[in-house]
Amino acid sequence: MKTDFDDAFRKVDVILTPTAPTAAFRIGEKVQDPLQMYLSDIFTIPVNLAGIPAMSIPCGFSREGLPIGLQMMAKHFDEGTLLRVAYSFEQRTDFHLKQPAPFV
């Protein structure tokens, strides 16, 4: 997996992916379904296995008003690029200023 990321970072500076395959779920909603909870982390696991820097920032909301995350990844020891890209995204959008839908 590390080799795959190293190959990708020879071509690009940052890789963007969803943080999770779905929008956030309400607190306690999936407690009885551990497999669904595990699968919600499926996009963040490779980052941890490869040991590369990554971060997740808000990038939108579902129709139900639940937050959607954008994961940004950079090559080893390139946290500076990662932070600059995240800062640039936040300066051009306002998702980080909005609140998710209230719990009902």
pLDDT one-digit tens code per residue, 72-85: 999 999 999 999 99
**Structural domains counted in the chain:** 1
Whether 52 is covered by a domain: the verdict is: yes
Its domain, for residue 85, covers 2-96
Residue 103 included in any domain: no
In a domain, 104, yes or no: no
Residues in the chain: 104
pTM for the whole structure: 0.82
User: Is 101 inside a domain boundary?
Assistant: no
% the chain with pLDDT above 90: 58
> Which residues lie closer than 8 Å to 51 by C-beta, 6 or more apart?
2, 76
Q: Is residue 84 part of a domain?
A: yes
59: pLDDT confidence band, cut at 50, 70 and 90? very high
pLDDT at 34: 75
In a domain, 24, yes or no: yes
pLDDT at 70 over 70: yes
